[in-house]
């Protein structure tokens, strides 16, 4: 299928989440090097969606879990923003924030909570959770080595980060 058609299909499926302030707010913080949490999450979500479709998996759960897996909404370098180790803390913050904006299925919740496995968090309990865990690792590697700049994908998808409120 044409790449643009697939991207439009993804945007339609995710429209409500992509328009939410909380998801767009992820653009305020850097996650891997210069890559924002929003750009990283879109990169993971879109690729998990495509691969889930390709393998006949639950593409909606993979896309939603991928988009929300890092919805922790704080600066990861700010030690006062979370109680312990970022590796263990951020999936739980992400799941809690995600539940405030959408009703998560048990599978989607586990995708978020297990995405750091085996470094921390829950064990992946579905094919889609294993997929997002793997895609997250590959995307992080591409971002950290600067092999891919996911802001281009975000711009093609038409997602605008939410600017920080003026103080």
Q: And the tokens for 53? A: 């479709």
**108 near Fe ion, judged by CB under 5 A:** no
**Residue 90 Cβ vs Fe ion, minimum distance, rounded to whole Å:** 6
**Residue 44 Cβ vs Fe ion, minimum distance, rounded to whole Å:** 6
Burial 97-125 (b: 16+ CB within 10 A, else e): bbeeebebeebbbbbbbbbbeeebbbebe
**133 near Fe ion, judged by CB under 5 A:** no
Binding mask 134-153 for Fe ion (x = CB under 5 A): --x-----------------
Query: How far apart are the C-alpha atoms of 70 and 54, rounded to whole Å?
Result: 24
Q: Of 96-104, 133-141, 143-151, 152-160, which segment contacts Fe ion by CB under 5 A?
A: 133-141
Are 113 and 131 spatial neighbours (Cβ–Cβ below 8 Å)? no
Shorter beta-carbon distance to Fe ion: residue 8 or 125? 125
**89 near Fe ion, judged by CB under 5 A:** no
For residue 37, the SS3 value is: helix
Q: Which residues bind Fe ion (CB under 5 A)?
A: 70, 136
């Amino acid at each position: 299928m044409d790449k643009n058609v697939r991207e439009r299909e993804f945007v339609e499926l995710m429209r409500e989440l992509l328009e939410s302030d909380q998801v767009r707010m992820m653009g305020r913080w850097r996650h891997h090097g210069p890559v924002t949490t929003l750009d990283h999450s879109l990169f993971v979500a879109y690729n998990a969606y495509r691969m889930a479709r390709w393998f006949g998996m639950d593409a909606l759960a993979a896309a939603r879990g991928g988009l929300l897996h890092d919805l922790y909404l704080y600066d990861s370098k700010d030690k006062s923003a979370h109680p312990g180790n970022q590796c263990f803390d951020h999936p739980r913050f992400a799941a809690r924030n995600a539940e405030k904006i959408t009703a998560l299925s048990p599978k989607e919740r586990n995708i978020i909570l297990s995405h750091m496995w085996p470094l921390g968090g829950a064990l992946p309990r579905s094919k889609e959770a294993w997929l997002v865990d793997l895609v997250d690792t590959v995307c992080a590697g591409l971002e950290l080595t600067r092999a891919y700049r996911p802001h281009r994908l975000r711009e093609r998808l038409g997602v605008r980060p939410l600017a920080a409120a003026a103080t």
